Structure 1
C-alpha cells in the first residue's frame, strides 16, 4: 500500500496511513451524491458496506432518522466478498459519527476504544466534471497506536475494498437502478 497520507476534517495533519479510491461516473454529481446519502439502500449496491443503520440523529423526517452532522451510525463491513458470509469476513462497526455533510461531501469518524488508541475518518466527495458526469473520491485516514495493527493486518484488503466500493457505486449509478 503506497497511498500518501491525506488529511480529513478531524485529522487535519494526516495520520499514519490512508486508503483511497476514485471512479469517474457518467451521471450527474447530484444523482451520485443522493445515492451516497441513501444509506438504507447500500444493500443494493455496496459490497463493502452493505448495511448502514442510523442509530441516533439530531434530525428526523417523520419516517425515521436522517443522515446529518452528529448522527451515529453502525456499519456491517464485508472484508472478503469472495467468501460466503461468516464471522471472519463480516464485521460490525458501531458508533461512527457523521462529522461533515454538505452539498458534495460526507464524512464520518470512528474510534477504537478511545480516540487515543485509534481514530479513522472517511471522506466521500463527489465533484461535477462539467460534462454531465462526475468524479467520486473516497479516502479514510487512520491515526493512533492501533492504526499500525490495522495497517499491517487489513491495509491492503481495505485498499481493495475501497476500490470495490467506488466501482460498485459507478455500476449502480450508471445502471439507473436507483430511479
Structure 2
C-alpha cells in the first residue's frame, strides 16, 4: 500500500471508525490505499459510475442501481452513486470462481466533494479523528452501508472511500469498512483475511483503470 508523505500516517494507530459503526462497537475493519496518478474528478467519476464496474473492478464486477433518491439526477448520471442511492454490489469472494457472486444490497450514506462539502461529520470530528481527511476542499468522499437480509441477521457495516488531492497530478485513494453486530463475528472468522486482500485489490484495480484513462487521454493530445 502506498501513502503520500504529505498526509498523516494512515490508518490511525487507534484503528478505523465510521459513523454507523464507531470504533468502540466495531468487531473488525478492513482497508486499502494507493496513490493514483490522475486528477480527483476523474477518479471520482470512475468510482461512482457503477455501470463500468465490469470493466475494471475484480472484487465487485457487477453493480445495479435500484433507486435514486436525489430528485435532480440527470440522465447521464443515473448510473452513478449519489446520496441515498440504493444499489446492489455483486461481490466475488473467490477469485477461482469469478462468476459466483454474493449480492450485497447497499445504500449511500454520505457524499462530499470540494464543491459541495458534506455535513455528515462536524468539522471538529474530522480535525480530531485520524480516520478521515479533514481538508474537505481537497477531498472527495463517499460512504455506503449494507442493507436487507444482512442487517436483519445482525450485521452493521459502513464503508468509506476518500480521494485526496496531494498535488503534482496525484491523489491518494483510501477505502475502509467497519463491521459490527453479531453476524460480524462470523464474517470476521470466515473472511477477514480475504476481505483485507480484496479491499487492496479494489484500490489496485481503480488505480490501473484511472491511470489507463489518463494515458489514453494524453495520447490523443
TM-score above 0.5: yes
- Three-state SS of the structure 2 residue aligned to 1:176 is helix
TM-score by length of 1: 0.87
Matched, 1:99 2:109: yes
Query: Which residue does 1:45 correspond to in 2?
Result: 56
Matched, 1:74 2:88: yes
The question of whether the paired residues in 1 share the 8 Å contact of 2:153 and 2:183 is answered with: no
Partner Cα distance (1:65, 1:54) in 2:
7
Q: Which runs of 5+ in 1 are unaligned?
A: none
Matched, 1:133 2:163: no
Cα 1:58/1:65, change in 2 over 3 Å: farther
Moved more, 59-68 or 27-36: 59-68
Could you say which structure has the higher strand fraction? 1
Partner Cα distance (2:68, 2:33) in 1:
28
Q: Give every structure 1 segment of 4 or more consecutive aligned residues whose post-TM-superposition deviation is greater than 4 Å.
A: none
Q: CA deviation at 1:24?
A: 0.7
Query: Which residue does 2:179 correspond to in 1?
Result: 142
Could you say which structure has the higher helix fraction? 2
**Rg comparison, structure with higher value:** 2
TM-score by length of 2: 0.72
Q: CA deviation at 1:17?
A: 0.7
Q: CA deviation at 1:13?
A: 3.6
Query: Which residue does 2:98 correspond to in 1?
Result: 85
Q: Which runs of 5+ in 2 are unaligned?
A: 1-10, 114-139
Q: CA deviation at 1:84?
A: 3.5
Partner Cα distance (1:172, 1:65) in 2:
18
